[in-house]
Chain A
């Protein structure tokens, strides 16, 4: 199973220019890919196309499978966003367990999976704490645990350490790369240090994939 973006152009309504222009990309399973580029270059839009959140104006984005019916992009991707999105009044465990339930697991089974994923990212002891009392780094690790709990084959991370200090960023990246083994990971970043930890790098400039 691969994610394939084929000559995709994205132009938002009423926008006077394209966001992506004839962008092509393939995301392989069990590989990490960094997408580099300046602000406004189209990195996040490319990620949204990969996740099925944005429909291309032209070109195709799809899941390629060796045989059988290809699933929808949304069904095979999990997100880690720059802005931490959690349910603040719910516990870390609840926030992760909800992703496990998208797999059809029952309530208790989902909580067990969530506990394991939180342990994977080093947050076992804070599982019962409400998300609103966790630090930024801890929240980002909760989000990573949530993405892992969904067991999607691809993980899309949009500047996952963009709002964290260096030390916290390292901890979050460690959690991301060590726990996502087996999944295809796409990390949008403008941080070369983050990109350096990936198997491959593509650069985007003015909506075009200029290096691969």
Chain B
């Protein structure tokens, strides 16, 4: 006589046990969802903070290098514009900040700081290209003089900064110019010609190219034995060392999905231990070990998989609606974490399912 218990029979039994498991199964699925959901929300929250920190970091100029001549003479504007072609440089602009550069019609006694910059500054600031009669004003100046986009103004150039436009200008953008320097925060931004000299050369870089660009920039800008060029981070020392990509990849909660899966798996192991009498019962009826294994696998996965999916759904919903996290970020973190949680929990369930208690002892324990 041979065993004729089939895998289909194990499947049917497991599904029947799950569907008639009542409160226990609902509680287990809910507990799984809770464990996974809480873990993933924590990870989304952490990832969200990393992304926000990166935005702040970039907004403050964390990816900018500033080159100046040590002797305070000017940087060659054409060379600065050409630095855009360096590998790893995404934008470059020659910038000169002149405090008290001009008067403004209708603002007697007031002298206005002017920031003259080449076109690349628009990329640095994320601004649209202005027209020939347009001007960009800093937020500080816009507040002070009640200017906004569309406002019209006229400069009164003199000897301090010759060459400024004399006609009526239209405010095309209001922007925080502090990125360019503290003095620029109270300035008007006008276009500078692509030749001549400038106070400084700003370059925006990809984080991974920082060292290469840092090393190459002085030569590109025409450093000589008598005219040394210093390249510095726009932010205070060390601030550029922050690597957002690394911070994201190495966030402390990145393995929370796996940990949640492990906890879920251990919960199932405890449940399987308390239900060992059932395993013994099937064995005593004549269900072979392999049939019992399949039955326990289907039961375990029948709890773990829906629980994890529910947990991911809860985490995504909560993170998007309550935390206000971006959908793309939440999906990335939650799906990765969910897959990890499911894989670990399933692995524990599959290994635990191989164990079958001693039939007689387990039956007497019932």
Residue positions of A touching B, CB distance < 8 A? 48, 53-54, 71, 74-76, 78-79, 81, 83, 85-87, 89-90, 94, 98-99, 101-104, 107, 146, 150, 152
Contact in complex: A87, B278 (CB < 8 Å): yes
Q: Which residue of A lies closest to B364 (CB)?
A: A83
Please pick, from B4, B17, B20, B363, the residue contacting A104 in the complex, using a CB distance under 8 A.
B4
Q: Which residue of A lies closest to B360 (CB)?
A: A53
The 6 A-B pairs of least Cβ separation, nearest first, read: A104-B4, A102-B286, A71-B1, A101-B9, A75-B1, A89-B20
Residues in A with CB closer than 8 Å to B3 are: 75, 102
Q: Which residue of B lies closest to A84 (CB)?
A: B366
Cα distance A129–B1 in the bound complex, in angstroms: 32
Contact in complex: B278, A102 (CB < 8 Å): no
Q: Is the interface of A mostly helix, strand, loop or mixed?
A: loop
Cα distance A86–B285 in the bound complex, in angstroms: 10
State which residues 339-366 of B face A: CB under 8 Å: 359-360, 363-364, 366
Residue positions of B touching A, CB distance < 8 A? 1-6, 9, 12-13, 16-17, 20-22, 277-278, 280-282, 284-287, 359-360, 363-364, 366
Cα distance A71–B2 in the bound complex, in angstroms: 7
Q: A98-B13, A98-B285 are in contact. Are A85 and B277 (CB under 8 A)?
A: yes
Q: List 6 A-B contacts (CB under 8 A).
A: A75-B2, A86-B281, A98-B9, A101-B6, A104-B4, A150-B286
Number of A-B contacts (CB under 8 A): 68
Residue with the greatest number of chain B CB neighbours at <10 A, chosen from A48, A71, A87, A150: A87
Residues in B with CB closer than 8 Å to A53 are: 284, 359-360
Residues in A with CB closer than 8 Å to B285 are: 78-79, 98-99, 102, 146, 150
Residues in A with CB closer than 8 Å to B284 are: 53, 79, 81, 85
Q: Is the interface of B mostly helix, strand, loop or mixed?
A: helix
Residue with the greatest number of chain A CB neighbours at <10 A, chosen from B2, B17, B360: B360
Q: A75-B1, A85-B366, A104-B6 are in contact. Are A54 and B22 (CB under 8 A)?
A: no
Contact in complex: B1, A54 (CB < 8 Å): no
Contact in complex: A81, B16 (CB < 8 Å): no
Contact in complex: B364, A48 (CB < 8 Å): no
Contact in complex: B363, A152 (CB < 8 Å): no
Cα distance A89–B25 in the bound complex, in angstroms: 12
Contact in complex: A152, B286 (CB < 8 Å): yes
Contact in complex: A87, B17 (CB < 8 Å): yes
Q: Smallest CB–CB gap between A113 and chain B, Å?
A: 13
Q: Which residue of A lies closest to B281 (CB)?
A: A85
Contact in complex: B286, A74 (CB < 8 Å): yes
Residues in A with CB closer than 8 Å to B287 are: 98, 102
Q: Smallest CB–CB gap between A8 and chain B, Å?
A: 16
Contact in complex: B5, A102 (CB < 8 Å): yes
Contact in complex: B22, A75 (CB < 8 Å): no
Contact in complex: A85, B1 (CB < 8 Å): no
Residues in A with CB closer than 8 Å to B5 are: 101-102, 104
Residue with the greatest number of chain B CB neighbours at <10 A, chosen from A53, A86, A152: A53
Q: Which residue of A lies closest to B291 (CB)?
A: A102
Cα distance A107–B13 in the bound complex, in angstroms: 10
Cα distance A14–B6 in the bound complex, in angstroms: 38
Q: A54-B360, A78-B286 are in contact. Are A83 and B13 (CB under 8 A)?
A: no
